[in-house]
Amino acid sequence: MNMDALHALVPLLCVVAAAIAAMVAEAFRSPGERMPIAPLGIIGLLGAAASTFLLWNHKAESFGLVIADNYGLFVTWTLIIIGILSIALSIPTVEREGLPAGEYYALMLFSLSGMILMAMATDLLVIFLALEVLSLSIYVLTGIRRDSPVATEAAFKYFLLGAFASAFFLYGIALTYGLTGSTKLDRVAEVFSTTSLASSPIHLVAMGLLIVGFAFKVSAVPFHMWTPDAYEGAPPPVTGFMSTGVKAAAFAAFARVFLTSFESMHDDWSQVIWVIAAATMVIGTVVGVVQTSIKRMLAYSSIAHGGYLLLALVSANQTAKGAILFYLLTYAVTNLGAFGIIGMLETNERPRDQIRDYAGLWTEHPQLAALMAIFLLSLGGFPPFGGFIAKWYVFTAAMEAGYSWLAIIGVLTSVVSVFFYLRVIVMMFMTPAAGPMPLPAVPKLAGAALLVSALIVFYLGVLPTQVMNWAAASIGTIF
C-alpha cells in the first residue's frame, strides 16, 4: 500500500489509537485502581492537532473517499478543541458517579473519530458510515448512567428516532446513486449540473430524504423531539459534547453535500431549508422560554442555534460560508463551557438541574458564576463575546443574500432568547440561596478548560477577523 494514501487519515488514526489505548488501559485496570485514562485521550487529540497543522494547505486525499482540504481540517480543529475540552470537563463527573472511565473516554474518542471522518468524507456512503460510528457511541454515552431511568429512556428514544433518521438518509443516498450512478460528491455535482434532472420528482425526493437525515442530527424542527430528553438524561459533559460535536460534524457534511453536489439546485432545496430554519429558530426560542430545567432550556437553545446555522446555509454566499465555520467554533466553545459548569455543580445528593438551584451561586462560588455568565451572555449574542460576532455574520449574510425576512426572524428570536439566559444570571447574582450550597472542589484540569473556553469566547468577540478569514478561506477550498 502507498503510505501517501494514508496521509489524509492521520488525524483520524490518532484519535482511533487513543480510543484503543483507553480500552486497553481499562482492561488492565484492577478494580478500584485509579488510572489516568483521560490524559491518554488528550495526548491522542494533541497528536491529531499536530497532524492537522502539518496537513494544512496540502489537500491530501485518501482512497478517493476522504480529503484533508482546509475546510475539513478547520472542522477537524474545531472537533479536536471540542474533544479536549469535553475530556477535561468530564473528569469530575466520571470520578463522582463512578462511571467506567475506559469505556467512557473510548466511546467519546470513537464518536469523535466518526465526526472527523464525516467532516472530511467526499462520498455519501462514507458520510453515512461516519454518521453511524458517531451516533452509536453517542447513544451509549447518553445512557451510560445505567441505574438512571431518565438516562435509559433518553438513550432509547434517541436510538429509535436516530435509526429512523438513518434510514431516511440511506434511502436518499440510494436514490441519488440511482440518478447519478455514483455516490462521490464531485461526480454527483457533475451529473446534476449538466443534465435536466432538476425537474425530476425523484431527484427532489432524494434531496428531501438527505435533508431529513441531516436535520435530525442538527436538531432542526420538526426533527428535534429527541433533543430535550437526551440532553436531560445524559451526564452534562456528554450533553455538551453531543450538542457541539455532533452539530459541528453534521453541519460540516451538510454544507459540503448541499453547497457542492446540490449547488445547482439551490433554488429547490433553499425553499425547504428556509422553512425549517424559521421554524427551528421560533420553536427553539419560544419553548425555551418556559423551561424550568436548565438542561432542557439549553437544549432548546441548541435547537435555536441550529436554526441560525441553517440561516447561514440557505444564504450560501461568501459571507455565509465563512460564517458557518466561525459560528460552529464559537458555539462549541461556549456551550461546552456552560455544560461543564453544570457538571461541576452537580452532586450525587443534589443534581441541580433546575434554574432555581443556581440562586446565590455568586456568593458561594463567584468564579463559576462569573464564567457561567460569560457563556450565557455569549449564547445570547451580547458583545464583546464571540456569540455576538457569530450572529452578526450570519444575519449580515442573510441580508446580503436577500433573505431579509428570515434575518428579521433570526434577530427577533435572538432578542427573545435573551430572556431565558438573563433569567439564570439574575438567579445567580441577585437571588439569595434557599439554603447552604456545599460545592464540590473543582479539579485543576477542568478549571483550566473552563478558563480557556472563556478566553476563546472573549478572543472571538474582540479579535474575530483572523479566525473569520481562516474560516472563509477554508470553506473556499471546496468551491
Digitized pLDDT (tens) for each residue of the chain, 479 residues in all = 455 567 889 999 999 999 999 888 888 776 666 667 888 899 999 999 999 999 988 888 888 889 988 999 999 999 999 999 999 999 888 888 888 888 899 999 999 999 999 999 999 999 999 999 999 999 999 988 888 888 899 999 999 999 989 999 999 999 999 988 889 998 888 888 776 555 578 888 998 999 999 999 998 988 888 889 888 888 889 999 999 999 999 999 999 999 888 888 888 888 999 999 999 999 999 999 888 889 899 999 999 999 999 999 998 888 888 889 999 999 999 999 999 998 888 876 677 788 888 888 888 888 889 999 999 999 998 989 999 999 999 999 999 988 999 999 999 999 999 888 999 999 989 888 776 666 777 778 888 999 999 999 999 999 998 999 898 888 876 66
| Neighbour count for residue 438 (Cβ, 10 Å) | 9
Q: Write the pLDDT tens digit of every residue in 35-49.
A: 678 888 999 999 999
pTM: 0.94
**What is the longest distance spanned by two Cα atoms in the chain?**
70
Rounded CA separation 447/350 (Å): 21
In three-state secondary structure terms, 409 is: helix
In three-state secondary structure terms, 241 is: helix
Q: Which long-range contacts (CB under 8 A, 24 or more apart) does 445-452 make?
A: 445/38, 445/88, 445/91, 446/88, 446/89, 446/91, 446/92, 446/340, 446/344, 448/88, 449/84, 449/85, 449/88, 449/89, 449/340, 450/89, 450/337, 450/340, 450/341, 450/344, 450/368, 450/371, 451/371, 452/85
Task: Note the Cα 62 to chain centre separation in Å.
Answer: 25
E runs forming strands in 308-375: none
